[in-house]
Amino acid sequence: MESEEESTLGEDRASDPILSPLASCHILGQASRWLCNIISRLSYSVTLATLTPSGSNSSDYFEDEDPGFLEALDATVLPGDLPPSDESDAEDLEPPPPGQPSLKRRHPDPDPVDEAIYGPSHFGNFGEYAHRKRAKLQIQNSEITAAGTQSQILKGIAVYINGYTEPSIQELRALLVLHGGVFQPYLDKKSIVTHIVTCVLTEAKMREFKNMKVVYPTWLTESVKAGTLLPWRDFIFVQGAPPASMPRYAADASNPNAQRAMAKPEWRSAHTAAAPGFIKGYFQHSRLHFLSALKAELVQLVAEAQTHAEAKFAQEEENTVVKVGPDSPVKGKGRASEARVIMHCDFDCFFVAAGLLSRPDHRGKPVVVCHSQGTQGGSSSTSEIASASYEARDFGIKNGMSLQQARKLCPTVLTIPYEFQRYKDLSLKFYTILMSHADEVEAVSIDEALIDVTGAVSRLRSAAAHAGSPHDPAKDFAERIRAEVKEATACEISVGISHNVLLARLATRRAKPAGSLHLLPADVPALMATLEITHLWGFAGSHRDKAREKLGSTALSALATKSRAVLCDALGPKTGKRLYNAVRGIDHTELRSAKQRKSVSVEINYAIRFDSNEKARDFVLGMAATVEERLNEVKMLGRQIVLKIMKRDPSAPVEGPKFMGHGACEVFNKQMPLDDGRATSDQKIIGEQAWKMLKSFNFPPAELRGIGIHINKLEPADGPTNTDSKQGKLPFKPSEAVIHQPSINQPRISGHATTSVAGTSADGSLPAIEEVDQAVLDALPVDVRQELENEWRRRSESPFPGKAPQPPAPPIQHGSGPLRLRSAAPQGVFPQQRSVKPPTRMQQSALRLGPRNGAYVIDKNSIHPNRPPNAFLRPTDTDLRKLDVDPEVYAILPPEVQREQLTVARLLQAGGIPEVSGERLTLKPRKYLPPADLFRQPPPYAKYPERPKLRQQGRKGEKMFFTEADDVQSLIEAWVNAFKKFPPNEKDLEFFAKFLVQSVESDTGVERAVAIVKWWLVLLRRYWGDYEHFEDFGDEDARVAMAWWGAFRGVKERLDLVARKKFGGRLSVR
């Protein structure tokens, strides 16, 4: 499993290993991963066998084995790796010789580099392996019979206990012996040790045990409690993490509150997804929906502003070049090779900071934002924490954690409610300021943005050079932005500065809280050497696991030694390249702006509890209505629907640990064309289709845990739609339509010609504003900003839930009138729709804001007296004509196309890109703190407990390989565990069957298929031998048993069918 702290640095990894860092809610049935893995391994093992000239033939592969072998196979603890010779089975537990991680085994035919790294494969053949296994078995069996123990739960486990543990070493030893395990007092070559149990590890021990299975004592205690050997991975030791006080096993726990509530029918019909109006209420309260929805708006707003700004800039650049000459620093995108200055700006604990504005008494205390308030829920609230104050983080509380966990860490933690409207207001202020300074802005989220300030810093730098200032102009600029944001919002942001996005993001983490940091190229290697792969943006658990398993390390220092080819082999071509560069501090990522939408979706995976198909159907239709709204909002139609269903994993309790959560689920996607391939947004078509698809799964409604409708293959809704007219990316429409509510956009473009050009960056306006700003705190500049912010707010509100219930298809009034009027004031924390304000003059505001920038330029006249650095100005018609762009045509283009046109036009006209001074001020090198202090806040979020997860390694059967972390032993453990209590997972079964069929069809795979089926048969007989020829649906056990036998017979039949075609006979598995 992945635990959150694994992806954080050293001492910061202080969280409960039961948590998962994945924000994703796809908690898949673990069984399917196990199967993938098992099959990977098996295909490999048997491939080896077939390479061995053993003379065995396919139908009697195991024929010569005594029956005891197969029967005992599943009960046996297999070695962690295939033994190359007669050495102890525990050889894989020995630390590898330095520089030669012998545990990393690959299939023969490795790529040359890997070959060099891993050394030659030294697998024995499968037959030899089998015999050795048998020998070992006998030894074990004799031990067991001699032992006379209480249970055999820990059979085959040989444990070395390291250092101080809780429970004590004596207790653990007793536990081991009592349940059939072996206590190993020594760790040397002669002792067989399958696992190391520990609560703490020194750095040295950490290295020593790097390739061993190191677990918390809870693995043993919880296994005994559970009466079965739990997967050791669930209890894997993580450096810096506390001993798993709360069992990982909680993933399987049931929430008693939920059970109680669900027992009452009236509660169910009022509070689950079957309740009337559930969807609307849900989205009003969902923070994640809020984040997603607002991000989309911000991206859109920035794109529009930037589009027009670029036209403006393009035109001005032309002038500038003429006026100032080629040597002048030039801002923005036109520059040829000057190093960029990228800033990453992010509010500190944003939701908390916003909430504290009206709760000054809570400052300095551990505070979290969550739905549960006061003492609600007591110590058992599963309410999720959206944001934790830095004081709370000192206790180990993290964003995404449940309140009950937080209360365990800090019983006095204070909770404050969500205030979505306030977050939005603050965010708009924040973006307003950034846009007034930056050449380019990428809206990352409500509280976070990337800005390219190359131009502004460049001007500052040359000004500073004149003044002989020793300061870093970039840092000065960042501090200035911080101050402005603080003034406008009373909240702290932190700013990371560097020459690319990757490094700017890294810098931010060190800058936090309430600071800025300029990461200079010279310091990059030293920093990188201290980092883990998961510290890089975009790399998380899956990459870390792959790195660990395929590359032998998750440390960037180690990964830096790998060739690009090796990284690509392990992580895929794109990701491999990205990592290869990232490790070297290289990142060419451009700031991203709005692209054409590719999909529109609605998904709810919370409180889905249906007791009838009717309820489920109503809900699906409600979801369809919601997608239609969203499609209309962006004026898109879709040709394809994807229905996403989460269904309770058969192994998961009916009520999982999180109150009304989805728990462990299997996820199913089904896609179909909509309306015979015609693009539509019609909720009736979508709803009926979705319901048909859901029905076709044939899932009991009570098992559903999540439903999503995704609409793909989008195309613009041409012409006036029959519904809402919200702003969207509708190309080739009359400008009124493009400009959504006419009142606002109309003046924006045409009015611009009069206002903006005249005022253009009139230097004169700047000092005035600055003065007023400083003299009277909330005077003119604030007004100006307010105007702009209000404007944005007005424009960005409509897509939010909380707006008035919409008639299905109100006729649109082009040209006038409020966009949407609310009939009633909805409750909830979501920003509410306001009535539309009269048009404002955004461009004017922007212009007046722009010059504020100039205040930073010490000697303005020596730079660009006539050009405001603000890149977010709209082009006037005059601007456009200068660029040979027809303003009327331009006006009706979607922002993306507008941008493109402008870029082309600008390049054509500029004829060349002015050279820029590459001069950099050399500043005193920065010392890096040790990793512990490097990042004060670990990035990942404590999430839901996750089940064991094994990944399929490599690409094809041919390329499978063993690693120390993913060995046969684990697979058997996993397999056996998966078998015990539950019916087979449908997807696993299908995958498994398909794999076997393919094996039989291929000429080389018959043997392995037969071996696997035999093995399967042995397992089935072992657990449910009584049911093999017996029909009994009595109890739950019988049901499970019958399910497995049915699955087996089904697969066997399919295989026989294939075999008959191919060989003219059935497969013998007896």
Ligand X SMILES: Nc1ccn([C@H]2C[C@H](O)[C@@H](COP(=O)(O)OP(=O)(O)OP(=O)(O)O)O2)c(=O)n1
Partner DNA sequence: ATCCTCCCCTAC
Partner DNA sequence: TAAGGTAGGGGAGGAT
Residues 884-943 that bind ligand X (CB under 6 A): 937, 941
Contact residue for DNA among 205, 210, 564, 597 (CB under 7 A)? 597
Distance between CA 186 and CA 206 in Å, rounded? 17
**DSSP-derived secondary structure letter, 884:** T
Considering only 236-244, 369-377, 882-890, 929-937, which stretch makes contact with DNA by CB under 7 A? 369-377
830 binds, among Mg ion, ligand X, DNA, none (CB under 5 to 8 A by kind): none
Task: List Cα–Cα distances, 388 to 348, 354, 356, 366, 952, in angstroms.
Answer: 10, 12, 12, 8, 36
CB of 803 to ligand X, least distance (A): 22
Burial class (CB in 10 A: 0-12, 13-18, 19+), 696: exposed
CB of 894 to DNA, least distance (A): 13
- Decide if residue 367 touches ligand X (CB under 6 A): no
Residues 6+ apart with CB under 8 A from 1053: none
Q: Token pair for residue 313? A: 């800039």
Residues 517-556 that bind DNA (CB under 7 A): 537-543
H or E element that contains 162: strand 158-162
CB of 567 to DNA, least distance (A): 10
663 binds, among DNA, Mg ion, ligand X, none (CB under 5 to 8 A by kind): DNA
Q: Residue 342 phi/psi, 5° resolution?
A: -105, 135
Name the CA dihedral angle for 984, 988, 990, 995, rounded to a multiple of 10 degrees. Answer: -130
387 binds, among ligand X, Mg ion, DNA, none (CB under 5 to 8 A by kind): ligand X
Contact residue for DNA among 4, 81, 603, 988 (CB under 7 A)? 603
Residue 499: closest CA among 338, 346, 347:
338
CB of 382 to DNA, least distance (A): 5
Burial class (CB in 10 A: 0-12, 13-18, 19+), 771: middle
Cβ count near 183 (within 10 Å): 17
Amino acid at 618: D
Distance between CA 936 and CA 929 in Å, rounded? 11
Mutual angle of helices 765-775 and 780-797, in 10-degree steps? 100
CB of 937 to ligand X, least distance (A): 5
Residue 38: closest CA among 1019, 1059, 1070:
1019
Contact residue for DNA among 75, 296, 406, 481 (CB under 7 A)? 296
* Number of residues engaging DNA in binding (CB under 7 A): 90
> Between residues 444 and 714, which has the closer beta carbon with respect to ligand X?
444
> Between residues 512 and 752, which has the closer beta carbon with respect to ligand X?
512
Residues 410-469 that bind DNA (CB under 7 A): 444-448
Contact residue for ligand X among 15, 50, 223, 387 (CB under 6 A)? 387
For the chain, give the number of residues: 1070
CB of 305 to DNA, least distance (A): 18
Place of tokens 């409600």: 622
> Between residues 348 and 472, which has the closer beta carbon with respect to ligand X?
348
Distance between CA 287 and CA 891 in Å, rounded? 36
> Between residues 61 and 800, which has the closer beta carbon with respect to ligand X?
800
> Between residues 606 and 1024, which has the closer beta carbon with respect to ligand X?
606
Residues 337-366 that bind Mg ion (CB under 5 A): 346-347, 350
User: Is residue 932 within 8 Å of 10, Cβ to Cβ?
Assistant: yes
Distance between CA 641 and CA 676 in Å, rounded? 11
SS3 956: coil
CB of 973 to DNA, least distance (A): 20
CB of 800 to ligand X, least distance (A): 16
- Decide if residue 350 touches ligand X (CB under 6 A): yes
Give the x/- contact pattern for ligand X in 7-36, rule: CB under 6 A. Answer: ----------------x-------------
Residues 674-713 that bind DNA (CB under 7 A): 706, 708, 710
β-strands 448-452, 440-445 pairing? antiparallel
> Between residues 304 and 447, which has the closer beta carbon with respect to Mg ion?
447
Burial class (CB in 10 A: 0-12, 13-18, 19+), 672: middle
Considering only 220-228, 281-289, 554-562, 803-811, which stretch makes contact with DNA by CB under 7 A? 281-289
Distance between CA 525 and CA 693 in Å, rounded? 53
> Between residues 381 and 462, which has the closer beta carbon with respect to DNA?
381
> Between residues 348 and 655, which has the closer beta carbon with respect to Mg ion?
348
Within 194-346, residue ranges assigned H as helices are: 203-208, 218-226, 256-263, 265-271, 278-285, 287-324
Contact residue for ligand X among 123, 283, 347, 995 (CB under 6 A)? 347
Contact residue for DNA among 22, 456, 693, 871 (CB under 7 A)? 22
Residues 435-464 that bind Mg ion (CB under 5 A): 447
CB of 501 to ligand X, least distance (A): 16
Give the x/- contact pattern for ligand X in 396-435, rule: CB under 6 A. Answer: ---xx-----------------------------------
Residues 750-809 that bind DNA (CB under 7 A): none
Task: List Cα–Cα distances, 75 to 72, 188, 192, in angstroms.
Answer: 5, 26, 18
Q: Residue 780 phi/psi, 5° resolution?
A: -50, -50
> Between residues 220 and 942, which has the closer beta carbon with respect to ligand X?
942
H or E element that contains 526: helix 524-528
CB of 401 to ligand X, least distance (A): 9
Q: What is the CA radius of gyration of the chain?
A: 32
SS3 161: strand
Give the x/- contact pattern for ligand X in 575-614, rule: CB under 6 A. Answer: ----------------------------------------
Considering only 811-819, 869-877, 949-957, 1007-1015, which stretch makes contact with DNA by CB under 7 A? 949-957
937 binds, among Mg ion, ligand X, DNA, none (CB under 5 to 8 A by kind): ligand X
Contact residue for DNA among 43, 165, 454, 575 (CB under 7 A)? 575
Distance between CA 597 and CA 728 in Å, rounded? 10
SS3 664: coil
597 binds, among ligand X, Mg ion, DNA, none (CB under 5 to 8 A by kind): DNA
Considering only 209-217, 346-354, 668-676, 924-932, which stretch makes contact with ligand X by CB under 6 A? 346-354
Residues 495-524 that bind ligand X (CB under 6 A): 512-513
Task: Give me the sign of the Cα torsion angle 711, 717, 720, 725.
Answer: positive
CB of 130 to DNA, least distance (A): 27
CB of 350 to Mg ion, least distance (A): 5
Place of tokens 């993913």: 966
Mutual angle of helices 420-437 and 780-797, in 10-degree steps? 120
416 binds, among Mg ion, DNA, ligand X, none (CB under 5 to 8 A by kind): none
Contact residue for ligand X among 2, 447, 791, 797 (CB under 6 A)? 447
> Between residues 288 and 993, which has the closer beta carbon with respect to ligand X?
288
H or E element that contains 171: helix 169-178
CB of 92 to DNA, least distance (A): 25
Residue 822: closest CA among 320, 365, 382, 280:
280
371 binds, among ligand X, DNA, Mg ion, none (CB under 5 to 8 A by kind): DNA
- Say how many CA atoms lie within 13 Å of 666 toward its Cβ: 18
Catalog residues that contact ligand X under the rule CB under 6 A: 23, 287, 291, 346-351, 386-387, 399-400, 447-448, 512-513, 937, 941
Catalog residues that contact Mg ion under the rule CB under 5 A: 346-347, 350, 447
